[in-house]
Chains A and B, each alone.
Chain A
Amino acid sequence: MRRGRPAGPAGYIPAIWPALMLCVFFVIPFAIMAAISFFHRVEGGFYEPGFEFANYARFFTTFFARILGFSLFVSGLAAVVCVILGFPFTFMLTRLGRRRQVLWLVFLLSVLSLSEVIIGFSWSMLLSRTAGLSNLFVVAGLMDQPASWSPGFAALMMGLCYLAFPYTVLILYPPLSRLDPQLPEAARMLGASPLRTFFTVVVPAQRGAIVATLIMVFVFTLGAYLLPQLLGRPQHWTLSVMITDQAILQSNLPFSAAMAMFLMLVSLALVGLTYAIGGERREP
Chain B
Amino acid sequence: MAELKLEGIGKRFGAVTAVENVDLTIPDGKLVCLLGPSGCGKTTLIRIIAGLEEPTTGRLLLDGEDITRLPAHRRNFGMVFQSLALFPHLTVGENIAYGLRIRGANRSVQKTRVDELLDMVQLPGLAGRHIAQLSGGQRQRVAIARALGLAPRLFLLDEPLSALDAKLREAMQVELRLLQQRLGITTIIVTHDQREAMTMSDLVVVMDDAKVQQVGTPLEIYRNPLNTFVADFIGSSNLLPVTVAGRTSVDLAGQLLTTPAISMDIVDGGPATLSIRPEDVHVLPPGAEGENRIAGRVTFVRDFGASVETHIRCDSVEAISVAAPKDRPDVACDDEVTVELPPASCVVLPR
Contacts and interface: CB of A to CB of B under 8 A. Distances in A.
A194 B102 CA distance: 12
Contacts of B132: 283
Contact of A192 (B73, B86, B88, B133): B73
Contact of A205 (B73, B89, B130, B147): B89
A111 B133 CA distance: 43
Interface stretch (B75-83, B208-216, B304-312, B325-333): B75-83
A18 interface: no
Interface in B117-137: 130, 132-133
A183 B132 CA distance: 15
Nearest to A282: B130
A180 B83 contact: yes
Interface string A68-91: 000000000000000000000000
A10 B32 CA distance: 61
A180 B87 CA distance: 10
Contacts of B87: 183, 186-187, 201, 204-205
B94 to A, nearest CB: 10
Interface string B39-71: 000000000001110000000000000000001
Contacts of B98: 187, 190, 192, 200
Contacts of A205: 87-89
Interface residues of B, number: 32
A202 to B, nearest CB: 10
B2 to A, nearest CB: 16
B142 to A, nearest CB: 12
B262 interface: no
B150 interface: yes
A258 to B, nearest CB: 43
Contact of A189 (B79, B83, B90): B79
Secondary structure class of chain A's binding surface, majority of residues: helix
Contacts of B75: 189
A196 interface: yes
Given A190-B149, A204-B89, A205-B89, A182 B83 contact: yes
A206 to B, nearest CB: 9
A191 to B, nearest CB: 5
Interface in B82-104: 82-83, 85-90, 98-99, 102-103
Contact of B102 (A182, A185, A192): A192
Interface in A233-254: none
Interface in A178-228: 180, 182-183, 185-194, 196-197, 200-201, 204-205, 207
B11 interface: no
Q: Interface extent on A, as a size class?
A: 20 to 34
Contacts of A194: 73
A284 interface: yes
Given A183-B87, A189-B79, A284 B130 contact: yes
Nearest to B149: A190
A182 B130 contact: no
A180 B143 CA distance: 15
A127 B301 CA distance: 85
Contacts of B71: 188
A123 to B, nearest CB: 38
B314 interface: no
Q: Which of B52, B146, B149 has the most CB of A within 10 A?
A: B52
B85 A191 contact: no
A93 B337 CA distance: 67
A189 B89 contact: no
B176 interface: no
Contacts of A282: 130
Nearest to B101: A200
A188 B83 contact: no
B85 A183 contact: yes
B72 A188 contact: yes
B130 A185 contact: no
B102 A200 contact: yes
B52 A190 contact: no
Nearest to B78: A189
Contacts of A192: 73, 98, 102
B79 A186 contact: yes
A193 B83 contact: no
Contacts of B76: 191
5 contacts: A182-B82, A186-B146, A189-B50, A204-B89, A283-B132
Interface of A: 180, 182-183, 185-194, 196-197, 200-201, 204-205, 207, 282-284
Given A189-B73, A189-B75, 17 more contacts: A180-B85, A182-B85, A183-B85, A186-B87, A186-B146, A188-B72, A189-B78, A189-B79, A190-B73, A190-B146, A190-B150, A191-B102, A193-B73, A196-B102, A200-B102, A207-B89, A282-B130
9 A-B pairs with the lowest CB-CB distances in the bound complex, closest first: A190-B99, A186-B85, A182-B85, A182-B81, A189-B79, A204-B89, A188-B72, A188-B73, A192-B102
